[in-house]
Amino acid sequence: MGRPLTIIPGLRQSVMFDVAVALYRRHGVERRPRVCKACGQAAPCPVRLHAELVIATAGADPQQFEDAPPPGHTGFRVGGRSRPIDDDALTYERHDD
């Protein structure tokens, strides 16, 4: 980061901040070899670096989110990098009960 960071008031209370924290935690670093736990790229991966920038822009220290487990997640399953895609991942049924 070459320029000074501008703090954005209110960013900490936004959905963007919550997503950045979740991505920062999910894309943690394996110690040996130094690769990302989620995507397998060289650590730190671009996703983690961008999430770290959002967290810092909100005025928070990214290191405080380092060892916490990722929050629970609900939603549709998606493929992801280097994972085989099966037929179940391509279709879903929506229930509006």
Range of the domain at 38: 1-64
Q: What's the mean pLDDT when you consider all of the chain?
A: 79
Which pLDDT score, from 0 to 100, does residue 54 have?
95
Selection from 29, 97, 34, 93 nearest residue 62 by Cα? 29
Mean per-residue pLDDT, 29-42: 86
Q: With respect to residue 73, please indicate whether it lies within any of the assigned structural domains.
A: no
User: With 90 as the cut, is the pLDDT of residue 84 above it?
Assistant: no
Q: With respect to residue 7, please indicate whether it lies within any of the assigned structural domains.
A: yes
High-pLDDT (> 90) share of the chain, %: 43
Q: With respect to residue 53, please indicate whether it lies within any of the assigned structural domains.
A: yes
Selection from 20, 85, 82 nearest residue 54 by Cα? 20
Which pLDDT score, from 0 to 100, does residue 8 have?
92
Q: With respect to residue 93, please indicate whether it lies within any of the assigned structural domains.
A: no
Q: With respect to residue 26, please indicate whether it lies within any of the assigned structural domains.
A: yes
User: With 70 as the cut, is the pLDDT of residue 71 above it?
Assistant: no
The answer to whether 70 touches 25, Cβ cutoff 8 Å, is: yes
Instruction: Please tell me the pTM assigned to this model.
Output: 0.64
